[in-house]
Each structure stands twice: as C-alpha cells, then as structure tokens.
Amino acid sequence: MMGSHKLNLLAVVAACGTLMSAAGIATAETTIRIDGSNTMYPVTEAGAESFRASRKETTKVKVGISGTGGGFAKFCRGEIDIVNASRPIEGKEMKACSKANVEYIELPMAYDALTVVVNLKNTWLKTITVKELKKMWAPGAQGKITKWNQVNPAWPDEAFKLYASGPGSGTFDYFTQAIVGKANSSRDDYISSKDNDKVLIQGVSQDKNALGFIGFASYIDNQDKVKALAIDNDTGEGIIPSVETVEDATYQPLSRPIFIYVSAKAAERPEVKEFVTFYIKNGSALVRGVQYFPLPPRAYRANMEFFRTKRVGTVFDGFLPVGLTIDDLLKREARIYEN
C-alpha cells in the first residue's frame, strides 16, 4: 500500500497544511515514532506529511509498517510512541503493556471494509456467501477443499489459489474471526503477502483462479487490476463495500473500526500532543483523502476529549468484536455528544 496513495496524500497535505498553528514550535528537531498496521498506514502517513509540512521539519514523524501485532509488540516494549492498529488491542498485548507499565489512549479513527477480491477474468463469481468463504478458509479445508466446484457445484472444476496477509496482521486476525469464527484460525496453504498489499494484488491479478482479501483503500487503488465480490451474510443478498453500505451497516461482517493507540507517557511530550491533536482535528479529511470511511463528527470530538483527559485503557477488554457498526462503536465509548 506504501506509495499507492501519493496523490491523495499530497492533496490532503495541501488541504490540512494551513490548519496547524506555528505557535510554540520548538527549534530543536524531535522525533515521533509510529509503527504497526499496513491498513492504517496511509491515514497516519497523510497526517504525518501534513504535520511535518506545518512544522517546517522541526519534528520528524517516522511511520513504519510491521503489522498490527508487530506494532503492538514494539509499543508494549516502549519502542514507539503510537501504534497503528486495524483491530483493538488483544488480551495478551494488554498484559504485555501492563507488565511494562505502558498505559495507552485508544482512539478509533475510521472504518474500513475488508474487501474480497478475485481476478478480473473470473466470470463465475460476483457474490460469495460467508458460508462459502468459511468452507474455503477453515483449517479443515486444507488438503480437502481445493477446487471451486467443491465450494459451490455451479463453479468450475479448477483449483483455486488463496492469498492473505498472514498472521501478525490485524486484517488477517479480523477476517479469520469474522469468517472462520476464531482469529488466526485458517488453513495455512495460502500464499502470504506478509502484510504487503502489492504482493497480494499482483498475485490475484495474474491468476484467474486466485482469491484474496484486502482493505478497501487498497482495492480502490487497484480496481483496474482486481474485482471486488459482493458479500452475502446469509441474507440472500450480496452487498458490495461502499460508503453507503458501511454507514448503513449492511456490509457485514467485514466492516471494522481501525485505530491509533497513543502512549500516555509519550502524550506528555509537546510534539506528540501537538501531532495527535492535529491528527484528530483533521481526522475526517485525512480518512476521506485515502479512501476510508470517516467517523461522525461527534466521534472525533469524543476522541479529542479522551486525549485531552488521557482516558487510558480499552473499551474492548481484549476481545475482537465482529459486525460492530459505527453506532455500536460510539455506544461502546459510553459518551453522548451532540451531532
């Protein structure tokens, strides 16, 4: 996904650059360290570019990609200030942070729609059901379910090839939880893109019998190379991912919130405080600029309050919810803000 959003990032920089006050800027160079989710990378990198431009390079904002799991591992060791996450923090990560006395502020920033993609020459698939996906991806399918017609008799008698980001990725965690019923529970004879969407897109685009899943922004950037499938969540109707179907909660169960987690200790530093404040204030524009789905304005107001008051911890208690709508997310935050 790195580089594929360059034009969008430049547009967002231009739109947001004038919004950052120059008051109180330190002359000494400082560094804000961010790592984690490939999915969240373009949003945070857009914010970082805008912020860097406003700060006239007095603050470095380094944004890396090591996957959500890799990012939390670094975060709980105190190696980074902010982690990009495409799922909520897990129980084992909560324990690791607690053991290291790392407190965190959980800030949902956007919604994503995991998108199931196939080759453009795939003529037999427009809609796929959750049950069919589970039949393809479940651990017990390995060595047994290898051809399309074993999933659906109307499909070809040809072997399919599966692509995924793999363990350590929040995208993989969420997909397996939503489709198979348990995070990281999957057959393991798929081709791993190792959290690099370019590898997955290339593989699917070159093989008529390939299928994979990616974040919505990656699909939008590559819709000339792969085709998105409608998802039938056992309703008899296939739903394509879009702004409308995410907002009205009909694209299920593959819609999900995505986050940043800020170290409470790092939030005491002026440059981190300014960056996160800037990020939240411009959250909607940044999210739209890279083709994700922004939260309602009241959610960003809530985030600003959570950050200002340093509300530490998580509202998810280490669990990975599936099918959480935007309204559900806001209710979990247990705050009421005016529209």
Measured CA to CA in angstroms, residue 173 lies from 4, 63, 86, 169, 250 at distances of: 24, 22, 9, 6, 21
Tokens of 62: 């380094």
Single-letter amino acid, residue 192? S
The secondary element (H helix, E strand) that includes residue 146 is: none
CATH number 3.40.50.2020 given to 6-112+257-332: no
Cα dihedral 59/60/62/63 (nearest 10): 50
Question: Is the omega angle on the peptide bond into residue 253 within 30 degrees of 0, that is, cis?
Answer: yes
Strands 161-164 and 210-214 come out as parallel
Q: What is the mean pLDDT of the chain?
A: 90
* Alpha-carbon span 97 to 314, nearest angstrom: 12
Q: What is the pLDDT of residue 26?
A: 39
* Alpha-carbon span 125 to 256, nearest angstrom: 24
- CATH dotted code for 115-240: 3.40.190.10
Measured CA to CA in angstroms, residue 34 lies from 57, 66, 264 at distances of: 17, 10, 14
Q: What is the pLDDT of residue 50?
A: 92
Q: What confidence category does residue 28 fall into, taking pLDDT thresholds of 50, 70 and 90? A: low
* Sequential DSSP letters for 69-89: HHHHHHHHTT--SEEEESSPP
Q: What is the pLDDT of residue 8?
A: 57
* 8, 291 contact by CB (below 8 A): yes
| Other Cβ atoms closer than 10 A to 322 | 16
Q: What is the pLDDT of residue 337?
A: 41
Tokens of 92: 């084992």
Question: Distance between terminal CA atoms of the chain?
Answer: 33
- CA angle 255–65–175, rounded 5-degree value: 25
Mean pLDDT of 236-255: 95
If you search the block for the tokens 């994503």, which residue do you land on? 112
Q: What is the pLDDT of residue 16?
A: 54
Summarize pLDDT for 120-143 with one digit per residue, the tens: 999 999 999 999 999 999 999 999
User: Which residues, 6+ apart, have CB-to-CB distance to 12 below 8 Å?
Assistant: 46, 49, 50, 285, 286, 289, 290
Q: Is the pLDDT of residue 97 over 80?
A: yes
* 87, 184 contact by CB (below 8 A): no
The alpha helices in the chain, defined as continuous H runs, are 6-16, 41-55, 67-76, 91-99, 130-137, 148-151, 170-179, 197-205, 216-221, 243-247, 270-281, 283-289, 297-308, 326-332
* 188, 258 contact by CB (below 8 A): no
Q: What confidence category does residue 19 fall into, taking pLDDT thresholds of 50, 70 and 90? A: very low
The segment(s) of the chain belonging to CATH 3.40.190.10 are 6-112+257-332, 115-240
Summarize pLDDT for 145-158 with one digit per residue, the tens: 999 999 999 999 99
Mean pLDDT of 215-231: 96
Mean pLDDT of 280-298: 95
Strands 293-294 and 226-228 come out as unpaired
